C-alpha cells in the first residue's frame, strides 16, 4: 500500500508514475475523500473541545444563581447533544477513512524509475541470454506428446479426477518432478544461504491482503467454503512473507537480510485466462514452486533483487537450460511490484522462450500492509522493511523445459547431470 502522506504531498508525481503501469489514479476522488476526512477530524476535535468546556460550566452556572441540580441538568443536556454530534462526526470520519483505505488497497505500487515504458509483454526489455538453444536433427515434440508417449503424463486422468488444467505424472516423470524440487531446495539452502521453511497451504484473508492478492485478485483465488475466510495459497510468497507481519526486526536480524526458501503447491483459478496454454503443464490450477523470499533493509533491496534473480538463474544454468532475462515494462509489471525480472526458458516444442520465474522487488509496499518493520539503529525508531520474492523455480515448468530440451529421437529423456544423483543414478527416462 502506498503511503498516504506521500500521495498527498506528491500527487502529480504519483499520478504520472502510476500511469506508467497503465493505472489511472482518480486524483479528484482522492482529494475529495482526503479533504472530507480532514474536515471530519476537525469537526470531531472541535466537538471534543466543546465537550471539555461544557463540563466546566457547572460552577459558573451555580455562581450565576442556579441550583446545583439545575446546573447539572443543563450541562447534562448540553453534553448529550454534543455526544450525539460527536458520535455522528466520529462515524463519518470512520466511514471516510474506510473509503480512503479501500482506494489505497486497490492502488498498485509505484514502478521504479528503472522500469521501461510499455503497455504489454511485447515491450519488455531483454537484458541478456544464457546458453544456445539445441539444434535437433529431428522434429522436436512438445512435453505433452513426449509425456503421453512415455505413458507417464496424463491430462485425461487429471481431468477425470479433478477437471481441466490438472495433470497426473507417473513413474520416471513423477520421480523427476520430486528430484527437481529437492535439487532446488538443496541448492538454495546449501549454496545461496536461504533458510528452508515449511508453511501452511491454507491462508486467511489478512495474509492475502498483506501481500497484495486481496482485494484486487480475489477471482483468481480458490476460496474454501468454510465459516471463516480461508483460501488455498496461490504462491508461497503469501505465507512466507507473512512470517514478518506485525513484527519489528532488529538491526542484527537484517544485517544480511532474512532469506527464506519454501516449497509448496500453489492453487490458482486463472480467472480470465481461458484459452491460454490450456494444453499441458504451462498454466495449471495446481502446480508447485520453490519460492525465494527476502526481507531486507530499504537501502539493500536493489542489490537483493539482483542477487535473488541470480539465485534463480543458477538453477537454470546448473540444468543447462537456455534462457533469457528480461526486465518488465510498466504495463506488464505486477500489481505490488516496483521492479521485476522475468526469466524465460527456451522450449523447443513451442520454439519460444516462456516464463519460468518472476523475481520482484516490492519496496515497502507489502511491508506497509503487513506492518513489517525493523528498528533503525541510527534513529532508534521502527521503519518499514523492503520485501522481495521470486520463483526458484516453478517446478512444473522446469519439468516441461527438461522434457523438451533433453528429448531424444526415440522419445526417451536424458537426465541432466546435476539431477542424476537425485534420480538414484537413473540417466535416461524411457517408456
The per-residue pLDDT for range 190-219, each reduced to its tens digit, is 999 999 999 999 999 999 999 999 999 999
pLDDT range class, residue 86, cuts 50, 70, 90:
confident
Helices (H), ranges, 10-154: 11-20, 27-55, 57-63, 68-105, 143-150
Last residue in a domain, options 106, 136, 162: 106
Instruction: Classify residue 7: in a domain, yes or no.
Output: no
Mean pLDDT on 171-181: 98
Q: Do both 162 and 258 map to the same domain? A: yes
Instruction: Classify residue 2: in a domain, yes or no.
Output: no
**Per annotation, catalytic residue among 51, 129, 178, 283:** 283
CATH number at residue 161: 3.30.930.10
Q: Are 110 and 2 in contact (CB under 8 A)?
A: yes
Q: How many CA atoms lie within 13 A of 136 on its CB side?
A: 16
Flag whether pLDDT at 121 surpasses 60.
yes
Q: Do both 156 and 221 map to the same domain? A: yes
Residue 355 annotated as part of some ligand binding site: yes
Residue 24 annotated as part of some ligand binding site: no
Instruction: Classify residue 394: in a domain, yes or no.
Output: yes
Running DSSP on this structure, what letter comes out for residue 108?
Answer: P
Q: Rg (Cα) of the chain, in Å, rounded?
A: 28
Strand ranges inside 297-384, DSSP E: 323-327, 339-347, 352-361, 373-375, 382-384
**Per annotation, catalytic residue among 297, 301, 397, 404:** 397
Q: How far apart are CA 88 and CA 40, in angstroms?
A: 10
Instruction: Classify residue 45: in a domain, yes or no.
Output: yes
pLDDT score of 431: 85
Give me the sheet containing 382-384, strands edge to edge. 248-249, 373-375, 382-384
Q: Do both 316 and 345 map to the same domain? A: yes
The question of whether 67 is a catalytic residue gets the answer: no
The question of whether 129 is a catalytic residue gets the answer: no
Q: Do both 422 and 338 map to the same domain? A: yes
Last residue in a domain, options 57, 75, 106: 106
Q: Do both 127 and 164 map to the same domain? A: yes
Q: How far apart are CA 410 and CA 402, in angstroms?
A: 16
Running DSSP on this structure, what letter comes out for residue 121?
Answer: G
Q: Do both 256 and 287 map to the same domain? A: yes
**Per annotation, catalytic residue among 154, 301, 358, 360:** 358
Q: How far apart are CA 99 and CA 118, in angstroms?
A: 31
The question of whether 268 is a catalytic residue gets the answer: yes
Instruction: Classify residue 283: in a domain, yes or no.
Output: yes
Model confidence over 217-252: pLDDT tens digits?
A: 999 999 999 999 999 999 999 999 999 999 999 999
Residue 389 annotated as part of some ligand binding site: yes
- For the chain, give percent helix, strand, coil, nearest 5: 45, 20, 35
Phi-psi map region of 118: left, alpha, beta (phi>0 left; psi -120 to 50 alpha): left
Q: How far apart are CA 205 and CA 411, in angstroms?
A: 46
Residue 101 annotated as part of some ligand binding site: no
Q: Do both 259 and 326 map to the same domain? A: yes
The question of whether 427 is a catalytic residue gets the answer: no
Q: Do both 279 and 400 map to the same domain? A: yes
Looking at the 3D structure of the chain, how many domains does it have? Answer: 2
**Residues whose CB is less than 8 angstroms from the CB of residue 100 and which lie 6 or more positions away in sequence, other chains included:** 4, 30, 33, 34, 37
pLDDT score of 401: 98
Q: Do both 100 and 224 map to the same domain? A: no
The question of whether 165 is a catalytic residue gets the answer: no
pLDDT score of 25: 97
Q: Do both 260 and 374 map to the same domain? A: yes
**Residues whose CB is less than 8 angstroms from the CB of residue 74 and which lie 6 or more positions away in sequence, other chains included:** 57, 61, 66
pLDDT range class, residue 45, cuts 50, 70, 90:
confident
Instruction: Classify residue 400: in a domain, yes or no.
Output: yes
Q: In the chain, pLDDT over 90 holds for what percent of residues?
A: 84
Residue 236 annotated as part of some ligand binding site: yes
Residue 52 sits in which domain range? Answer: 26-106
Q: Do both 52 and 171 map to the same domain? A: no
**Per annotation, catalytic residue among 134, 355, 383, 412:** 355
Instruction: Classify residue 169: in a domain, yes or no.
Output: yes
Q: Are 370 and 152 in contact (CB under 8 A)?
A: no
The model's pTM is 0.93
Residue 218 annotated as part of some ligand binding site: no
pLDDT range class, residue 271, cuts 50, 70, 90:
low
Q: Do both 135 and 278 map to the same domain? A: yes
Instruction: Classify residue 111: in a domain, yes or no.
Output: no
Residue 64 annotated as part of some ligand binding site: no
**Per annotation, catalytic residue among 268, 297, 369, 373:** 268
Amino acid at each position: 500500500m502506498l503511503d498516504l502522506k506521500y500521495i498527498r504531498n506528491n500527487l502529480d508525481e504519483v499520478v504520472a508514475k502510476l500511469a506508467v503501469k497503465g493505472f489511472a489514479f482518480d486524483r479528484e476522488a482522492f482529494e475529495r475523500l482526503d479533504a472530507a476526512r480532514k474536515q471530519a477530524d476537525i469537526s470531531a476535535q472541535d466537538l471534543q473541545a466543546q465537550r471539555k468546556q461544557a463540563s466546566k460550566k457547572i460552577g459558573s452556572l451555580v455562581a450565576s444563581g442556579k441550583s446545583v441540580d439545575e446546573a447539572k441538568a443543563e450541562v447534562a443536556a448540553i453534553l448529550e447533544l454534543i455526544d450525539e454530534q460527536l458520535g455522528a462526526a466520529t462515524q463519518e470520519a470512520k466511514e471516510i477513512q474506510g473509503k480512503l483505505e479501500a482506494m489505497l488497497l486497490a492502488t498498485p505500487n509505484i514502478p521504479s524509475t528503472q522500469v521501461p515504458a510499455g503497455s504489454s509483454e511485447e515491450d519488455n526489455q531483454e537484458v541478456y541470454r544464457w546458453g544456445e538453444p539445441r539444434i535437433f536433427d529431428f522434429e522436436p515434440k512438445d512435453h505433452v506428446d513426449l509425456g503421453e508417449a512415455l505413458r507417464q503424463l496424463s491430462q485425461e486422468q487429471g481431468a477425470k479426477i479433478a477437471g481441466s488444467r490438472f495433470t497426473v505424472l507417473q513413474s520416471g516423470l513423477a520421480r523427476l518432478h520430486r528430484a527437481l524440487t529437492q535439487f532446488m531446495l538443496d541448492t538454495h539452502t546449501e549454496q545461496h544461504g536461504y533458510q528452508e521453511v515449511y508453511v501452511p497451504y491454507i491462508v486467511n484473508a489478512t495474509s492475502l491482503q498483506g501481500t497484495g492478492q486481496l482485494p484486487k485478485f480475489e477471482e483468481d483465488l480458490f476460496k474454501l467454503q468454510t465459516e471463516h475466510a480461508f483460501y488455498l495459497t496461490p504462491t508461497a510468497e503469501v505465507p512466507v512473507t507473512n512470517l514478518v507481519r506485525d513484527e519489528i526486526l532488529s538491526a542484527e536480524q537484517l544485517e544480511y537480510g532474512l532469506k527464506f526458501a519454501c516449497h509448496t503447491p500453489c492453487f490458482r483459478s486463472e480467472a480470465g485466462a481461458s484459452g491460454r496454454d490450456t494444453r499441458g503443464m504451462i498454466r495449471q490450477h495446481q502446480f508447485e514452486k520453490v519460492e525465494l523470499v527476502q526481507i531486507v533493509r530499504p537501502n539493500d533491496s536493489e542489490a537483493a533483487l539482483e542477487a535473488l534473480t541470480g539465485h534463480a538463474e543458477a538453477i537454470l544454468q546448473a540444468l543447462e537450460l537456455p534462457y533469457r532475462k528480461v526486465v518488465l515494462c510498466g504495463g506488464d509489471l505486477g500489481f505490488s511490484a516496483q521492479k521485476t525480472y522475468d526469466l524465460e526458458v527456451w522450449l523447443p516444442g513451442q520454439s519460444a522462450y516462456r516464463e519460468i520465474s518472476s523475481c520482484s522487488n516490492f519496496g515497502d509496499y507489502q511491508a506497509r500492509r503487513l506492518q513489517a518493520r525493523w528498528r533503525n539503529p541510527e534513529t532508534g525508531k521502527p521503519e518499514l522493511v523492503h520485501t522481495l520474492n521470486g520463483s526458484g523455480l516453478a517446478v512444473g515448468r522446469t519439468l516441461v523445459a527438461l522434457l523438451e530440451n533433453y528429448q531424444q529421437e526415440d522419445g526417451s529423456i536424458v537426465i541432466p547431470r546435476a539431477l542424476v544423483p537425485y534420480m538414484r543414478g537413473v540417466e535416461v527416462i524411457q517408456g
